[in-house]
Chains A and B, each alone.
Chain A
């Protein structure tokens, strides 16, 4: 398999030497060119799992491999887009996109690659601007261009549109779809929005919490562009919703128990 997550566990060290498990023995296989959404309530460990694929978080147990090579550290074969605030304010838009290219190619080449990717996200006009002059949506497009410019094998997106307003998010969804159809990159997309997951991906992996685990795996073979009013969309949405309601209920009950117990 292209991206293989095998019996992976993650726990964080607690204050008194006890480990807090996030999830254990998680298995997931993602094939090339697939657009996979990782969906789940907060605390299920979906972002942690993505960071582990990026190599930013250590793997407590198990193995993650990309094309058979075990992942131990971050590298340019995996690009990542963060929720917000990850582009560098001291660099212009174009310099930001050129950042990962320095040292791997000549300056002219890097400049060409950056131009091409800025065109892809429709920011050619703003390449000499600085991040503080851009809107949140534009900043995220810079982040996408920057991650794609280094031509990674897989694009990891950690709630990339979570901090944007509804309209901007909608526009960026369409752009991301176009980019994905153009580049056919493998994308792992973390979100807590059911609609976003169904609208964009080929496959929705639903994660539950306490302990974090995969509770369902849906293939979405509805032709794009997908309409929210489409019956098939609504059907899957409802199925996922009922799955997640159980999970959220569990969290709520635990919190209430805690309150009554103490």
Chain B
């Protein structure tokens, strides 16, 4: 409870400083809106349905892209985790692919798919796939050998051993992978939409910038941050904690 009050106070202080900077007139009004202008932009944006429309479009891209990223990433990760040969040949390239910022893929996506939602989804897939694959590979590699030895003494082998022991044993890393895949896909989504022809939250942001509606720009930045942290805290962090506890990885 006290922590909650402290956190609220912190926000009040930040907004206060923001207001002070605005009032001092260091930046021109057109480039630096006041907190109340941003609140108003947020209100009208939601009231006239523009933000809702953009959010729905963004979530559509995200859900399609992230689902495919998780599927492809998991398949790649299992392949690299199970086959030493595949990992020796292709494993190192996975890290280089992962280190490429998603926005770099946008020109390529636009040239291949054009200015449409498909190129946004393509960028989201690339954003999430490699980090998912890396985590799934780690997940497979870090299954405790004792689990596998114990299962073998109980007659488990082949597919049975994989699905009954290796898959559940690797769940903690898999869940971490999901969490990171979501985070990376969310960033990729914004990068892709920013350069797209809409609809989407990123597109709305660039549109507002083009018309010098800075209060809308900041409002959308706030929405992006809030969704990012809320989904992480309410969904992925919760799942991760639950799995870690059950698997005996935390006390």
Residues of A within 8 A of B (CB): 51, 54-56, 74-76, 78-80, 82, 85-90, 99-100, 104, 130-132, 143, 146-147, 150, 156
Contact = CB atoms under 8 A, between A and B. Distances in A.
B248 A82 contact: no
A54 B245 contact: no
Given A85-B144, A88-B169, A90-B169, A78 B153 contact: yes
Contacts of A156: 153
Contact of A85 (B146, B153, B165, B245): B146
Contacts of A51: 149
B222 interface: no
B88 to A, nearest CB: 18
Contacts of A100: 154-155
B172 to A, nearest CB: 9
A131 B248 contact: yes
B57 interface: no
A56 B146 contact: no
Nearest to A56: B149
A131 B248 CA distance: 8
Given A130-B246, A132-B246, A132-B247, A88 B153 contact: no
Contacts of B169: 88, 90
B247 A79 contact: no
A54 B153 contact: yes
B147 interface: yes
A85 B149 CA distance: 11
Given A76-B155, A88-B165, 11 more contacts: A55-B152, A56-B152, A56-B153, A74-B152, A74-B155, A88-B168, A89-B246, A90-B246, A99-B154, A100-B154, A132-B248
B227 interface: no
Contacts, number: 59
Nearest to B250: A132
A151 to B, nearest CB: 12
B244 to A, nearest CB: 10
B245 A132 contact: yes
B149 A90 contact: no
A147 B146 CA distance: 14
A75 B246 contact: no
A74 B247 contact: no
Q: Shortest 4 CB-CB distances between A and B: which pairs?
A: A100-B154, A132-B248, A86-B150, A80-B153
23 contacts: A51-B149, A55-B153, A76-B154, A82-B149, A85-B144, A85-B146, A86-B146, A86-B147, A86-B150, A88-B147, A88-B165, A88-B168, A88-B169, A90-B168, A90-B169, A90-B246, A90-B247, A99-B151, A99-B154, A130-B246, A131-B248, A132-B248, A150-B155
B171 interface: yes
Interface in B111-135: none
A77 B180 CA distance: 44
Of the candidates A86, A146, A147, the one having the most CB atoms from chain B within 10 angstroms of its own CB is A86
B247 to A, nearest CB: 5
Nearest to B150: A86
B144 A74 contact: no
Of the candidates B150, B153, B164, B248, the one having the most CB atoms from chain A within 10 angstroms of its own CB is B153
